[in-house]
Amino acid sequence: MKRLWLILGIPIAVAAIAIAYSTIDITRSAPNPVIAPEDAVAAPQQPTLEITYIANEGVLISSGDKQVLIDGLHREYERSYAFLPAAEREKIESAKAPFDKIDLILVSHLHLDHFHSESVGLHLKHNPEATLVSSQQVVEEVEKNFKDYQAIKSRVTGATPLLKARVAMKAAGIDFEILGLGHGSERFRWIQNLGHIVKLGGKKLLHIGDADMAAEIFEIFNLDEEGIDIAFIPFWFLLYKDGQTIVREQIKPKHIIAVHISPAEAEKTAGQIKQVFPNAVAFTTMLEKRSY
């Protein structure tokens, strides 16, 4: 049985109800895709955290017996976006190894290059230990489109901070925060795009989805004071001056991982990023791993 605890004081929406800033504890044709071999791991000394690139902005974060999947359950949408080939997608949707121990599923927003309701529903159905926490828009899509929703409903939580607000949460023993960042582009202002700060393996990881590239939004969160160890950044933030300023001055991560890179432009984009952020990692090879 899942229990929900709420404390503190900033307006957000959870399961369509406005609540305060809170801690919520939930107990319990393009080039062919490039897939990394299983032993393709870059391992610094004494790593406490392993990150597996899924596709597009999808990442699997692992430390000890805890795993968090962000934006990793989606299907082919447009060929300009990376997506897992069918065999690997079937593994993650069916919760087969190496995707059988995921504890927490986070989704930044409902766009199909980040999320597919059937994919999310299937993983939850096959992995009874997994919990989904996302925006009310994402929750409603899963409820509407996944036919076995009643079987997974108890492990689905909607949490939607308002723009420039944040909420602290805990699920499966994992502490994280959700940030109301908004979606870039005027035509997508209606999209509930969420950022996430995940605390795992003694580190803080930031994932911003397709955040609005607006300094006035990021400055609210004082991320430069958070001590962000690893930030997953959409590549365009790293190539445009406004985004570069946000990364350098308002996020200040120790490590940058560039995501959302088109397979057709992977080599070119990775090269451009290296010119500006020489130490950044560009995720372009699906299922490649990095240890920190």
What is the pLDDT at residue 41?
56
Structural domains of the chain in order of their starting residue, each with its CATH number: 12-291 (3.60.15.10)
The answer to whether residue 4 scores a pLDDT higher than 90 is: no
Sheet of strand 166-171, all strands in order from the earlier edge strand to the far edge: 23-26, 166-171, 174-180, 194-200, 203-207, 230-234, 255-259, 281-282
pLDDT for 71 equals 99
Residues 81, 115 contacting (CB under 8 angstroms): no
State residue 21's pLDDT score.
42
Beta carbons of 183 and 110 less than 8 angstroms apart: no
Which pLDDT does position 186 carry in this prediction?
Answer: 78
Q: How confident is the model at residue 47 (pLDDT cuts 50, 70, 90)?
A: confident
Closest CA to 205 of 182, 237, 179: 179
Q: How confident is the model at residue 282 (pLDDT cuts 50, 70, 90)?
A: very high
> 272: buried, middle or exposed (CB in 10 Å: 19+, 13-18, 0-12)?
middle
At 7, the pLDDT band (50, 70, 90 cuts) reads very low
Question: pLDDT digit string (tens) for 170-195?
Answer: 999 999 999 999 997 778 778 999 99
For the residues of 28-90, what is the DSSP string, one character each? ---PPPPB--TT-EE--SS---EEEE-STT-EEEEETTEEEEES-B-----TTS----HHHHH
Max CA pair span of the chain: 51
Mean residue pLDDT across the chain: 89
Reply yes or no on whether the pLDDT at 19 is more than 70.
no
pLDDT in tens, 226-275: 999 999 999 999 999 999 999 999 999 999 999 999 999 999 999 999 99
